């Protein structure tokens, strides 16, 4: 009887010790943002022909070229930030290349870019954009809150 009581007591004590090491307890983790050491600044330039815009009115062609050059500049920024997807297809017959196709695409979201200059050069409209990654970082903090562990409290 005494032996059984000692074994039971020992088993209960072992369970208490093991459960004390468990991470079953609730915990609160607090996060803080990690600031990069360097903020690069990149530029993108877009061009659009004025006379080739599809409108009968000179002013509207100019406005369309302004918009098109801005979109082209944004595409250039996206290429720099996200890279380009390149796909290629080559067909051959009798060890001679018959057809060769190359396509590129870019996809991304650019936030925080600023128009530096927008001006006509002859029949072409040019727009210069600048993307300061310090601004991008601030936008990122406002929207996503990149985090690291600051403090952990167990309950």
**Model confidence pLDDT, tens digit, residues 47-58:** 999 999 999 999
Structurally, how many domains does the chain consist of? 1
Asked if residue 15 belongs to a domain, the reply is no
Asked if residue 8 belongs to a domain, the reply is no
Asked if residue 2 belongs to a domain, the reply is no
pLDDT at residue number 127: 98
| pLDDT at residue 1 greater than cutoff 70 | no
- What's the whole-number mean pLDDT along residues 61-88? 95
Position with higher pLDDT, 3 vs 75: 75
Total number of residues shown for the chain: 155
Alpha carbon of residue 3 to chain centroid:
67
Asked if residue 45 belongs to a domain, the reply is yes
Asked if residue 10 belongs to a domain, the reply is no
Q: How far apart are CA 59 and CA 72, in angstroms?
A: 20
Q: How far apart are CA 111 and CA 133, in angstroms?
A: 10
pLDDT at residue number 2: 66
Asked if residue 59 belongs to a domain, the reply is yes
Q: How far apart are CA 106 and CA 75, in angstroms?
A: 7
Backbone angles phi, psi at 122, to 5 degrees: 65, -125
Whole-prediction pTM value? Answer: 0.67
Domain carrying residue 116: 29-154
| pLDDT at residue 140 greater than cutoff 60 | yes
């Amino acid at each position: 009887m005494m032996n059984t009581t000692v074994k039971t007591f020992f088993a209960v004590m072992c369970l208490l010790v093991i459960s004390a090491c468990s991470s079953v307890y609730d915990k609160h983790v607090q996060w803080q943002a990690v600031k990069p050491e360097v903020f690069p600044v990149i530029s993108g330039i877009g061009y659009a022909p004025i006379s080739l815009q599809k409108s009968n009115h000179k002013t509207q062609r100019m406005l369309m070229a302004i918009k098109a050059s801005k979109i082209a500049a944004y595409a250039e920024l996206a290429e720099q930030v996200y890279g380009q997807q390149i796909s290629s297809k080559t067909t051959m017959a009798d060890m001679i290349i018959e057809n060769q196709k190359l396509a590129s695409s870019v996809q991304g979201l650019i936030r925080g870019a600023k128009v530096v200059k927008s001006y006509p050069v002859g029949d072409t409209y040019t727009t210069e954009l600048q993307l300061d990654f310090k601004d991008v970082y601030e936008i990122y903090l406002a929207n996503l809150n990149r985090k690291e562990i600051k403090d952990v409290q167990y309950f």
